[in-house]
């Protein structure tokens, strides 16, 4: 059928004068007029056809015969038939002889040649109606992508020359200050300058629940400001912003065909000429074997054969099915870089995941504070915090979030002991903060209980005496346990955790989550070697999930690379095949489910199209089906296949 409209054309239409309201409805008279013009040829042909059939049936007008009748049906045919004939001619000039346009042209002109004028018009009319249904279906299936295009901000209020002025977001530079009012979209990625902001990020993350961002935190283009005027310092140009990259990804995804799509397109190019030659054979070969051969009868059968053999349902519904899968995934905060990865996702039987930033938040927090009786906990923590204020280590940041009352202590003469920790003076006392090696090298006895602790541990000594320790742990994400449960439910036979964190910590997290095996202390190349080893196993298809930075080599090597934190990581965008925008590991199972649903619907459409077509083609060849039945079967199959593909847009996966 018609060539698919490029997504950029949708974008161009969107900015070509349509007047859209915030409620998402378009009330512009130009669009209504455009829709009417689209339907007008089919409406005109339909009225002419029905009128002609009624006159024929009731024989109401004696003059409606001969050339008058022929001209009537030719006039009815031209609005819907002429564009198809032109397309067929263009294809032939481009060297593409066997197309659906040629099939429909031969079938309808042949019907006219043997005097079956109403059927000739009907074939082309129903073909045109099928085109309209297809166009509406494609438009509906592209709804999620168009919604993404709609969230692209058109204006930015930038602080220039002592005032905020509206400019095109593409002209804003990094480091400039922008203002976003209530209900407006954030035009560029940046960091929040205001104290806090409530943002709706549904369009870019799939999360319906508004989120709160505090001063200094990242904000992303396309988010909607829900409460109060906020100010932002831009950190990226518009072309590098989250929403621009997402749009580019989704647009390009439709161009990366699945193997099934590519096969069907190749098949159609072989299938169509075969059908044409079979139809020619069906017209002339019976002359050699049938006693009472009537050319018009066998030509009529051949024309039926051509109509029902048109591969419209296959050529349209299969790409539409994959497009529906891509749209459904984006609605759920999952970006597939192409339809091919929807297919590969259905074959995954081994899931390998990173730990930090994938199933954990990647944010360290104090788990336990253990101090001896010499210092109360609050005083003990003040000594520790005074020292950690001099450090830039992520663990220091976690310790400094501890809340204490009263005046803070100050450290002086702080020096770093390489690979061990810090040494300094607090309130006139010598304080050591670090690992066991630091304590041992300073002849400080460490309690035996610390040997069995798997979490990161920070030990403290004050004036040569062991004062206590704190344990630091990375928190599991809220849906981490549910993610493993859902992955198992999706039929994945093996779940493995690989991490660069301590082996003891990785194994503990693995046990808590219930994965099949866990290994820690791995360098990026170690993870790569392990995934390559798994891939060499017969029948193993590996999906690797990481944070997209240190795991880039593994993401590229695995059968399906899935990146967490797609909005914040350039490496994830570039390397991964699938991007989970919400950072939720539970979306891993959702991606598998969407891939399987898409493939199931695609194969349903293939079975439906082939089954019905073969049945009616056989009936037509034996003279047991009329042109009308062929038309209804062809259009009906295409329509059912399109409706089936659209189901993906309405599916909910639990």
Residues 6+ apart with CB under 8 A from 283: 295, 298, 299, 301, 302
Cβ burial of 385 (10 Å; 0-12, 13-18, 19+) is buried
Average pLDDT, whole number, for the chain?
Answer: 81
In the prediction, which pLDDT does 11 show? 37
Distance CA 349, CA 562 (A): 14
Residues 6+ apart with CB under 8 A from 264: 314, 315, 318, 606
In the prediction, which pLDDT does 178 show? 94
The residue among 493, 486, 494, 480 whose CA lies nearest residue 653 is 486
In the prediction, which pLDDT does 596 show? 93
Q: What is the pLDDT of residues 508-545, one digit of tens each?
A: 899 999 999 999 888 778 888 999 999 999 889 999 99
- Statement to judge: residues 405 and 502 lie in one domain: no
The residue among 448, 461, 378, 449 whose CA lies nearest residue 420 is 461
Token pair recorded at residue 352 = 């390998």
In the prediction, which pLDDT does 223 show? 83
Question: Is 44 a domain residue?
Answer: no
Question: Is 563 a domain residue?
Answer: yes
Which of 579, 594, 609 is a domain's end point?
Answer: 594
- Statement to judge: residues 492 and 419 lie in one domain: no
> Annotated catalytic, 22?
no
Question: Is 43 a domain residue?
Answer: no
- Statement to judge: residues 562 and 491 lie in one domain: yes
Which of 475, 501, 517 is a domain's end point?
Answer: 475
Question: Could you tell me the CATH number of the domain that includes residue 435?
Answer: 3.40.1110.10
- Statement to judge: residues 541 and 460 lie in one domain: no
Cβ atoms of 405 and 378 closer than 8 Å: yes
Phi, psi of 364 (to 5 degrees): -75, 140
Give the pLDDT band of residue 486 (cuts 50, 70, 90): very high
Question: Is 45 a domain residue?
Answer: no
Give the pLDDT band of residue 442 (cuts 50, 70, 90): very high
> What residue numbers bound the domain in which 405 lies?
362-475
Domain count, the chain: 3
Which of 228, 250, 272 is a domain's end point?
Answer: 250
Most confident of 112-121, 456-465, 645-654: 456-465
Question: Could you tell me the CATH number of the domain that includes residue 185?
Answer: 2.70.150.10
Q: What is the pLDDT of residues 595-650, one digit of tens each?
A: 999 999 989 988 888 888 788 878 877 878 777 777 777 777 777 887 888 788 77
Distance CA 304, CA 617 (A): 8
Distance CA 291, CA 300 (A): 18
- Statement to judge: residues 356 and 384 lie in one domain: no
Q: How distant, in Å, are the alpha carbons of 183, 362, 472 from that of 469? A: 48, 22, 10
In the prediction, which pLDDT does 8 show? 33
In the prediction, which pLDDT does 35 show? 61
Q: 134 or 396, which is more confident?
A: 396
Cβ atoms of 544 and 551 closer than 8 Å: yes
What is the C-alpha R_g of the chain?
A: 34
Q: What is the pLDDT of residues 182-231, one digit of tens each?
A: 888 888 889 999 998 988 876 565 555 677 888 988 888 878 888 889 99
H/E segment holding residue 400: helix 394-400
Distance CA 254, CA 337 (A): 8
- Statement to judge: residues 531 and 435 lie in one domain: no
In the prediction, which pLDDT does 548 show? 57
Give the pLDDT band of residue 417 (cuts 50, 70, 90): confident
pTM reported for the whole predicted model:
0.67
Cβ atoms of 608 and 313 closer than 8 Å: yes
Cβ atoms of 301 and 592 closer than 8 Å: no
Token pair recorded at residue 499 = 């991490």
Cβ atoms of 569 and 561 closer than 8 Å: no
Cβ atoms of 640 and 632 closer than 8 Å: no
- Statement to judge: residues 445 and 345 lie in one domain: no
Range 389-410 average pLDDT: 81
In the prediction, which pLDDT does 31 show? 52
- Statement to judge: residues 576 and 548 lie in one domain: yes
Cβ atoms of 479 and 461 closer than 8 Å: no
Distance CA 387, CA 423 (A): 8
Percent of the chain topping pLDDT 70: 82
- Statement to judge: residues 468 and 518 lie in one domain: no
Question: Is 419 a domain residue?
Answer: yes
Active-site pick, 343, 354, 577, 583: 354
- Statement to judge: residues 407 and 467 lie in one domain: yes
Question: Is 558 a domain residue?
Answer: yes
Distance CA 602, CA 653 (A): 18
- Statement to judge: residues 419 and 490 lie in one domain: no
Question: Is 72 a domain residue?
Answer: no
- Statement to judge: residues 349 and 438 lie in one domain: no
In the prediction, which pLDDT does 525 show? 83
The residue among 637, 578, 534 whose CA lies nearest residue 126 is 637
In the prediction, which pLDDT does 653 show? 79
H/E segment holding residue 466: strand 465-476
Distance CA 103, CA 98 (A): 7
The answer on pLDDT for 27 being more than 60 is no
Cβ atoms of 628 and 122 closer than 8 Å: yes
Question: Is 285 a domain residue?
Answer: no
Q: 654 or 4, which is more confident?
A: 654
Helices within 259-349 (DSSP H only): 259-284, 286-289, 295-309, 312-331, 339-345
Distance CA 521, CA 15 (A): 52
Q: How many CB atoms lie within 10 A of CB 599?
A: 20
């Amino acid at each position: 059928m018609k060539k698919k409209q490029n997504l950029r054309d949708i974008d161009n239409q969107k900015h070509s004068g349509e007047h859209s309201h915030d409620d998402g409805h378009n009330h512009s008279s130009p669009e209504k007029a455009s829709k009417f013009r689209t339907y007008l040829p089919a409406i005109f042909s339909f009225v002419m056809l029905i009128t002609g059939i009624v006159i024929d049936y009731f024989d109401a007008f004696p003059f409606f015969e001969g050339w008058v009748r022929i001209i009537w049906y030719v006039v009815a045919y031209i609005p819907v038939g002429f564009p198809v004939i032109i397309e067929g001619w263009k294809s032939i000039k481009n060297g593409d002889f066997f197309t659906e346009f040629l099939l429909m042209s031969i079938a309808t002109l042949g019907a006219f040649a043997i005097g079956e004028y109403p059927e000739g018009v009907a074939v082309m009319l129903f073909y045109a109606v099928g085109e309209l249904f297809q166009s509406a279906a494609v438009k509906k299936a592209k709804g999620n992508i168009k919604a993404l295009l709609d969230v692209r901000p058109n204006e930015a209020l930038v602080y220039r020359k002592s005032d905020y002025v509206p400019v095109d977001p593409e002209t804003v530079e990094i480091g400039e200050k922008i203002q976003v009012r209530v209900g407006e979209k954030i035009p560029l990625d940046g960091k929040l300058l205001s104290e806090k902001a409530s943002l709706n990020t549904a369009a870019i993350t799939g999360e319906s629940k508004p989120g709160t961002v505090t001063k200094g935190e990242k904000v992303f283009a396309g988010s909607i400001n829900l409460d109060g005027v906020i100010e932002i310092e831009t950190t990226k140009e518009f072309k590098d912003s989250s929403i621009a990259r997402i749009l580019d990804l989704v647009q390009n995804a439709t161009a990366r065909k699945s193997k099934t799509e590519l096969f069907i397109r190749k098949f159609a190019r072989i299938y169509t000429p075969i059908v044409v030659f079979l139809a020619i054979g069906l017209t002339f070969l019976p002359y050699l074997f049938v006693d009472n051969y009537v050319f018009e009868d066998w030509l009529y059968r051949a024309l039926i054969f051509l109509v029902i053999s048109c591969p419209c349902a296959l050529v349209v519904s299969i790409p539409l099915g994959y497009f529906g899968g891509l749209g459904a995934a984006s609605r759920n905060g999952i970006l597939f870089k192409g339809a091919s990865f929807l297919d590969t996702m259905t074959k995954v039987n081994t899931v390998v995941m990173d730990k930090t930033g994938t199933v954990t938040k990647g944010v360290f927090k104090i788990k336990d504070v253990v101090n001896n009786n010499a210092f109360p906990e609050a005083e003990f923590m003040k000594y520790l915090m005074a020292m950690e204020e001099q450090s830039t280590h992520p663990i220091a940041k976690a310790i400094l979030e501890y809340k204490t009352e009263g005046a803070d202590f100050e450290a002086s003469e702080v020096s770093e002991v390489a690979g061990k920790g810090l040494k300094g003076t607090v309130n006139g006392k010598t304080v050591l903060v670090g690992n066991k090696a630091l304590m041992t090298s300073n002849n400080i006895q460490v309690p035996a209980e610390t040997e069995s602790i798997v979490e990161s541990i920070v030990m403290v000594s004050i004036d040569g005496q062991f004062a206590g320790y704190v344990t630091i742990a990375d928190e599991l994400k809220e849906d981490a346990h549910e993610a493993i449960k859902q992955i198992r439910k999706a039929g994945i036979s093996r779940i493995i955790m690989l991490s660069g964190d301590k082996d003891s910590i990785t194994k503990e997290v693995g046990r808590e989550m219930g994965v099949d095996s866990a290994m820690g202390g791995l360098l990026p190349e170690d993870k790569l070697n392990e995934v390559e080893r798994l891939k060499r196993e017969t029948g193993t298809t590996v999906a690797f999930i990481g944070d997209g930075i240190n795991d880039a080599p593994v993401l590229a090597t695995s059968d399906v690379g899935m990146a967490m934190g797609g909005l914040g990581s350039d490496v994830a965008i570039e390397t991964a095949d699938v991007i989970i925008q919400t950072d939720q590991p539970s979306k891993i199972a959702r991606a598998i489910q969407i891939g399987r649903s898409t493939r199931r619907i695609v194969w349903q459409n293939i079975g439906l199209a082939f089954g019905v077509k073969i049945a009616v083609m056989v009936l037509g060849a034996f003279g047991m089906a009329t042109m009308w039945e062929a038309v209804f079967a062809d259009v009906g199959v295409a329509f059912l296949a399109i409706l089936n593909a659209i189901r993906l847009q309405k599916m909910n996966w639990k």
